[in-house]
Structure 1
Amino acid sequence: MWSCPWSKKVWKFSFLNGVYKQWREPSFIDLLAHVVKTSSNEEVELFSVICWLLWKSRNRFKHEGVVEESKHIVWSANEWLNTFQDAQRSNETVTNDATQKRVQVKWRPPTAPNLKLNTDAAIDYKKKKAGLGMVVRDGEGKLKCAGHKVLPGNPSIVAIEALAVYHGLLLCREAGFQKLVVESDSTIVIDALNKTELDLSVEGGVLDDIKCLASTFKSVLWKKVNREGNIAAHKMAKHALIADKDRLWQEAGPPWLTDIILDECRN
Structure 2
Amino acid sequence: MCREVLPTAANLITKHVNIVDRCAWCQNYVEDTAHVMFLCDFAREVWAAVGMLSLIAEDPGDTVLQVTKRIFNKGNNEQRAMYGMICWALWYRRNKWVWERVTVSSFGVKSMALNMKTDWSKARKVEEQHEVQQQMRVHTWCKPPEQWIKINTDAACHVNGEMTGLGCVARDDSGQFVRARSRKVQVGHQPRIVEALSMREALSWTKEWRSSRCVFETDAKTLVDAINKVKESQGESMFDTIVDDCRELIKHFEEVLIVFVPRSANSVAHLLAKGAYSMSGLQEWVITAPDFLICNLDLDMV
Cα distance in 1 between the residues matched to 2:230 and 2:139:
29
Work out whether 1:256 is the aligned partner of 2:292.
yes
Q: Residue 126 of structure 1 corresponds to which residue in structure 2?
A: 160
Q: Residue 93 of structure 2 corresponds to which residue in structure 1?
A: none
Higher relative contact order (CA 8 A, sep 6+): 1
Q: Residue 28 of structure 1 corresponds to which residue in structure 2?
A: none
Matches within 5 A, 1:20-99: none
Identity, in percent, stands at 28
Q: Residue 216 of structure 1 corresponds to which residue in structure 2?
A: 252
Cα distance in 2 between the residues matched to 1:244 and 1:231:
22
- The CA RMSD over aligned residues, in Å, is 1.4
Aligned residue pairs total 163
For 2:277, what is the secondary structure of its paired residue? helix
Q: Residue 161 of structure 1 corresponds to which residue in structure 2?
A: 195
2:174 pairs with one of 140, 153, 160: 140
Cα distance in 2 between the residues matched to 1:121 and 1:183:
12
Q: Residue 109 of structure 2 corresponds to which residue in structure 1?
A: none
Structure 2 CA distance for partners of 1:163 and 1:145, relative to 1, 3 Å: same
- TM-superposed deviation, 1:196: 1.1
Cα distance in 2 between the residues matched to 1:200 and 1:232:
33
Cα distance in 2 between the residues matched to 1:143 and 1:193:
26
Cα distance in 2 between the residues matched to 1:177 and 1:250:
17
For 1:175, what is the secondary structure of its paired residue? coil
Which amino acid counterpart does residue 252 of structure 1 have in structure 2?
T
Q: Residue 105 of structure 1 corresponds to which residue in structure 2?
A: 139
Larger Rg: 2
Cα distance in 1 between the residues matched to 2:161 and 2:228:
33
Cα distance in 2 between the residues matched to 1:162 and 1:215:
17
- TM-superposed deviation, 1:175: 2.0
- TM-superposed deviation, 1:191: 0.6
Cα pair 1:125 1:154 within 8 Å, conserved: no
- TM-superposed deviation, 1:236: 0.3
Could you tell me which runs of 5 or more consecutive residues in structure 1 were left unpaired when the two chains were aligned. 1-103
Cα distance in 2 between the residues matched to 1:177 and 1:228:
27
Work out whether 1:225 is the aligned partner of 2:261.
yes
For 1:218, what is the secondary structure of its paired residue? coil
Cα pair 2:161 2:189 within 8 Å, conserved: no
Work out whether 1:183 is the aligned partner of 2:248.
no
- TM-superposed deviation, 1:242: 2.1
Give TM-score, length-normalised by structure 2: 0.52
Could you tell me which runs of 5 or more consecutive residues in structure 2 were left unpaired when the two chains were aligned. 1-137
**Which structure's residues are more often strand, by fraction?**
1
1:196 pairs with one of 218, 230, 235: 230
Which amino acid counterpart does residue 168 of structure 1 have in structure 2?
A
- TM-superposed deviation, 1:212: 0.5
Work out whether 1:206 is the aligned partner of 2:242.
yes
Q: Residue 174 of structure 1 corresponds to which residue in structure 2?
A: 208
Q: Residue 99 of structure 2 corresponds to which residue in structure 1?
A: none
